Amino acid sequence: MPIIPEETVQRYQRLKDDLNQHNHAYYVLDDPSIPDSEYDRLMRELQAIEQDFPSLLTPDSPSQRVGGVALDSFSQVVHTVPMLSLDNAFSDTEMVDFDRRIKDRINLDSSQQMIYACEPKLDGAAVSVLYKAGLLERAATRGDGSVGEDITANVRTIKSIPLRLQGENIPDILEVRGEIYMPKDGFNRLNQKAKQAGEKAFVNPRNAAAGSLRQLDSKITATRPLEMCAYSVGQFEGGDKPNSHFQMLQMLGQLGFKINQHIKQVEGIDDCEDYYQHLASIRDQLDYDIDGIVYKVNDFRLQERLGFVAKAPRWAIARKFPAQEEMTRLLDVEFQVGRTGAVTPVARLEPVFVGGVTVGNATLHNADEINRLGVCIGDTVIVRRAGDVIPQIVKAVLDKRPEGAQPIIFPERCPVCQSAVKRAEGEAVARCTGGLFCGAQTKEAIKHYASRKAMDIDGLGDKLVDALVDNDLIYSVADLYDLNLEGLVNLERMAQKSAENLLQSIEVSKQTTLPKFLYSLGIREVGEATAQTLANNFGTLDAVIAASIDQLLEIDDVGPIVARHIVDFFNNPDNLPIVEAIVAAGVQWKDIDQSADSLPLKGQTWVLTGTMETMSRAEAKDRLQEFGAKVAGSVSAKTHAVVAGPGAGSKLKKAQALEIQVLSEQSLIEFLATL
């Protein structure tokens, strides 16, 4: 290895520091410090040193923003601190209610004013960026809030995201949450370039940003004009953590992140409304899309006291801008059949640009909604699209109704399998009675059966399921286990290696658990938790099948509606033969012993928090449920025990305050070994 002159080492470090500072000035502060030509000269000098002395190269070098070879797929990332969604408010009244609920929960006098941090709700893609010892280590999409995809290579190409944190008070571990978006100018340039190349243009900046982040080749992402605004943190270990959200944003700015210039700290709900009106008035002048305002209780201590409900924090809310509406013509109505047999009327519209996208379809929900609207085929209708909500018809413009407008007739027979369509008493939705016999329900049932939380058949995506059914290779879930290599390789775009991998994944799926199998069947209202409860209480599939409504009602979390769905599913003459065929194909699990000793944790509620290092969080959850415990997402007085790993925060503090037993991961492993 050649000896590197000391002056070269010093020059290289100076170049790295200078280029990172110039990147920050240009992409974060929007205040270029040198001409582009000078930046290019410095970058070439840096790259020349790295080529001559490769041992100097470090991950935070500005030359390392674009990776090498493209990925085959994205790996999954489990969020140590879940990336929660927000509840929405659409009116002043809902905001006042939000403020009142907060004051009631922390016993604040109604005359006292709450301090809120306000920020524009950017319309992009939420991401998590993890730093250790100040260096960017990993970036992930939000995914379902618990599990996202590793997009580190792509995020490294975004120059408003620091590769190394700057300044002082750098935490040992810092997970920054932010919104990656595409400015309007960059979006317009990208689409103009696509148009000139004869390529398909993106519909809107959000679509362009999300698509750019999911490129398997980071070189493509690097060509897209993406930016990120930081809006919160997840993990924070080491260093002095600020006391409020607004202070945290200021700290993130000092560490090198782009912070929205319109963030503001206000006092009271009236000031929140003033902020909303101001942002609404300048919304169209901004160089990026926003779809509302996010309000957060500013004080971190109050946030911890307020806690969470379901998958949303009590201390934050998104005030959405009014729904955008346009008029267009209703050309036709088609009826689609979902996994549970729900027959949904879908309006086919004359395409119209509304809510940032071109809309050609809209939901009419059900027969009651059609009658309420009084809409006919041929009518001019008002279409609304609010944020991510599916476009819907909100009104028929009756004075524009043409002669010959046709009433919408709800089908009495399933448009796919011709089975009877029935509507249960008290329900708004009409359903096909064909069950797994129905082709449409078959496709959706197979997709659900193969999903990650069910039988987890890797490689069996939606398009492949459609192709298998459309080419008559499978007619039900059970037929998956009869697939062979010859049939698969004859499908369009199916290579032999992919077919072999799929068959192997199907074979692996034969080893499962009773709860996963029950969930995979797609019984209405039977989610993961209910499937686990059924398995723990009955122990065997035969016992679940034979269970009466009265027996089911004796189980916690099973009410009359769910009990009826379970009984109806197994009483359907088309369903039971398919279940039996799956079992005959070799799908198997270990039955759950119903003796008292086999479920020693029955009736107990456990909570997992922080990082699990030896076993995954999912594995820990499965093991606890295996012994009869219920695993909850929040701590309460009814919680039996909390398992806390590194990074545990508010849940651990609440458990300690309530004097609830707290175990480490190692203690949990040792405890489970004794059961």
Q: Enumerate the active-site residues.
A: 121
Q: How many CB atoms lie within 10 A of CB 486?
A: 8
Residue in 340, 274, 653 with CA at minimum distance from that of residue 526? 340
Owner of token pair 């953590």 = 241
C-beta separation of 173 from 134 below 8 A:
no
DSSP conformational letter for 597: G
Residue in 134, 137, 129 with CA at minimum distance from that of residue 172? 134
Residue in 652, 633, 650, 653 with CA at minimum distance from that of residue 642? 652
Distance CA 651, CA 384 (A): 40
Distance CA 442, CA 440 (A): 5
Q: How many CB atoms lie within 10 A of CB 464?
A: 19
Task: Output the DSSP codes for 41-104.
Answer: HHHHHHHHHHHH-GGG--TT-GGGSS-SSPPSSPPEEE-SS------EE-SHHHHHHHHHHHHH
Distance CA 485, CA 497 (A): 10
Residue in 133, 124, 308 with CA at minimum distance from that of residue 209? 124
Q: Are strands 312-313 and 290-297 parallel, antiparallel or unpaired?
A: unpaired
- Measure the N-to-C terminal CA separation of the chain; round to a whole number of Å: 57
* Residues 6 or more apart whose Cβ sits within 8 Å of residue 646: 237, 610, 611, 613
C-beta separation of 529 from 546 below 8 A:
no
Side chain identity, residue 559 = G
Q: How many CB atoms lie within 10 A of CB 399?
A: 6
Provide the strand spans (E) within 289-342: 290-297, 308-309, 312-313, 316-320, 324-337
Letter string b/e over residues 94-113, b meaning 16 or more CB atoms within 10 A of that residue's CB: ebeebbeebbeebeeeeeee
What's the burial of 635, exposed, middle or buried (CB within 10 Å: 0-12/13-18/19+)? buried
Q: How many CB atoms lie within 10 A of CB 396?
A: 18
Residue in 484, 505, 507, 508 with CA at minimum distance from that of residue 496? 484
DSSP conformational letter for 617: H
Distance CA 391, CA 348 (A): 11
Distance CA 336, CA 506 (A): 29
Is 277 in a helix, a strand, or coil?
Answer: helix
Q: How far is CA 272 from CA 48, 86, 210, 240, 265, in A?
A: 53, 17, 30, 29, 9
